[in-house]
A and B are shown apart, each in its own frame.
Chain A
């Protein structure tokens, strides 16, 4: 829906720079992936009990993605959201949900170009309230993020959720992550997603949907060769009208959201790869749980 930046010349130059950078990455990444800090796929695949033969190729792709995201972040810091070109798919799903007046819960995953989604939303004239544990990026309106200290007591995170609930009741758009925060430790429920790897699943989106009546919309983003951001919004998942059993409602909602992400990832392999990039970094969340023995690296990442 939204396309090139405010001036076509600047966007073309930006696209050319991104493309040149991506071409350079293709040369550099095979070497950079040899560095210990970038050799993460093998560790993940080993933890999952999967064969390691594609680990190096996965690490190279990961390095290229990291470098691409870094360029995007630099462009955003320098020029703000107008620096990026966005290709939307499914934006109308979000605008329809907003028009309905019950608020909307955008759910994104950890990993991927984390600043791309809020920047793309700004370009589309939507300023969501972001529930996040890190400081907002410098170009985002600070008032539109509720930042919590993940190392603090549970009241820190509860304050963020209460703020989000109030925003939803006012018909606002809230963005929250699928997995919850990074220090959920043993309490985290695990769901079998990302190919055959089980990864943490947060309950914030489901609880907010139940308490506010707002629909949940999954959203994923990826960055292309020339720096264009592709953002895909999944179909709105409406909460059932009168949930009697909160636990059952939340479990069902989480399942529906995960299924929606699986469909999005099937539609956008680049976004699935971003999820892998996040998954290999979940050492802070704890080891991924055991996979199905027949899984292959291709199933885990493709």
Chain B
């Protein structure tokens, strides 16, 4: 399930990046803001909606650099949300 989650998140990140990125190229320390994928605000909005489709609700106050800094911090955040009963499970 962890591998599925990682794969699903990488695919999602690759699809919302502009230009689209190869999910296989994403490392744990790939930056999502600034360098690396360099997501802009609209890409991050798409990312949040994409996470909803994966079953992870992201409240606005959680859209912070702490959670969205790198691939690994986002993965950790998604896992933590998944662990919360109110957040629902990841449909992977």
Chain A positions near chain B (C-beta within 8 angstroms):
146, 153-163, 165-166, 187, 203-204, 207, 211, 246
Say if the beta carbon of B44 comes within 8 Å of chain A. Answer: yes
Are A166 and B60 CB-contacts (below 8 A) given A153-B33, A153-B34, A211-B45? yes
Question: Does B46 contact A162, Cβ atoms closer than 8 Å?
Answer: no
Taking a contact as CB atoms closer than 8 A, the residue among A158, A203, A207 that contacts B63 in the complex is A158
Q: For the complex, what is the distance from the CA of A153 to the CA of B41, rounded to whole Å?
A: 9
Q: For the complex, what is the distance from the CA of A273 to the CA of B22, rounded to whole Å?
A: 46
Q: Which residue of B lies closest to A148 (CB)?
A: B41
Cβ contacts under 8 Å, A211 to chain B? 45, 49
1/0 contact trace for B39-59 toward A, CB 8 Å? Answer: 111111110110000000010
Interface-centre pick from A155, A161, A166 (highest chain B CB count, 10 A): A155
- How would you classify the secondary structure of chain A's contact residues: helix, strand, loop or mixed? helix
Considering only residues 52-78 of chain B, those with a C-beta below 8 Å from chain A are 58, 60-61, 63-65, 68
Chain B positions near chain A (C-beta within 8 angstroms):
33-34, 39-46, 48-49, 58, 60-61, 63-65, 68
Question: Does B60 contact A162, Cβ atoms closer than 8 Å?
Answer: yes
Q: For the complex, what is the distance from the CA of A208 to the CA of B60, rounded to whole Å?
A: 15
Taking a contact as CB atoms closer than 8 A, the residue among A146, A158, A166 that contacts B44 in the complex is A158
Cβ contacts under 8 Å, B43 to chain A? 154
Q: For the complex, what is the distance from the CA of A168 to the CA of B40, rounded to whole Å?
A: 21
Are A161 and B33 CB-contacts (below 8 A) given A155-B65, A166-B60, A187-B40? no
Q: Which residue of B lies closest to A250 (CB)?
A: B42
Question: Does A159 contact B46, Cβ atoms closer than 8 Å?
Answer: no
Nearest CB of chain A from residue B67's CB, rounded to whole Å: 8
Cβ contacts under 8 Å, A207 to chain B? 42, 45-46
Question: Does B34 contact A158, Cβ atoms closer than 8 Å?
Answer: no
Nearest CB of chain A from residue B54's CB, rounded to whole Å: 15
Cβ contacts under 8 Å, A187 to chain B? 40
Question: Does B42 contact A155, Cβ atoms closer than 8 Å?
Answer: no
Cβ contacts under 8 Å, A203 to chain B? 42
Cβ contacts under 8 Å, B46 to chain A? 207, 246
Question: Does B68 contact A204, Cβ atoms closer than 8 Å?
Answer: no
10 extra A-B contacts, CB within 8 A, seeds A165-B45, A187-B40: A154-B33, A154-B40, A154-B43, A154-B44, A157-B40, A158-B45, A158-B48, A161-B44, A163-B60, A204-B42
Cβ contacts under 8 Å, B63 to chain A? 155, 158-159, 162
Q: For the complex, what is the distance from the CA of A203 to the CA of B44, rounded to whole Å?
A: 13
Cβ contacts under 8 Å, A156 to chain B? 41
Question: Does A155 contact B68, Cβ atoms closer than 8 Å?
Answer: yes
Q: Which residue of A lies closest to B63 (CB)?
A: A159
Please provide the 9 A-B residue pairs with the shortest distance between their CB atoms, ordered closest to farther: A158-B44, A157-B41, A159-B63, A163-B60, A158-B41, A161-B45, A162-B60, A154-B41, A153-B33
Cβ contacts under 8 Å, B64 to chain A? 155, 159
